[in-house]
Amino acid sequence: MARRVAAGTGVLLLDSEGLSKIAGDDEWAWAHLKQALKEQSRVFVPAVTLAEVLRGGSRDASATAFSSASPSST
């Protein structure tokens, strides 16, 4: 049986700072996200990061929008 290899290399794992910066439209953070796309890598937002960042207020909107549409959440 031939070996199966996942496409792309590496994983971009967002911590609370990364998710907050992306939610706040920080260009530096988005550059890393675009680089991950260029490399066809997976992007993960751990559940614990969501628990840290999301506070239940209106400020959560952009972070929630990103995490719900983010390629991978675990």
Binding site for other proteins (CB under 8 A): 1-2, 4, 6-7, 10, 25, 27-28, 30-40, 42-43, 66, 68-74
Tell me if 14 sits within 8 A of 52, measured CB to CB: no
Residue placing its CB nearer to other proteins in the complex, 34 or 55:
34
Residue placing its CB nearer to other proteins in the complex, 35 or 51:
35
Residue 47: CB minimum distance to other proteins, A: 11
Residue 4: CB minimum distance to other proteins, A: 7
DSSP 2: P
Tell me if 20 sits within 8 A of 52, measured CB to CB: no
Find the helix packing angle between 60-69 and 16-23, rounded to 10°.
Answer: 110
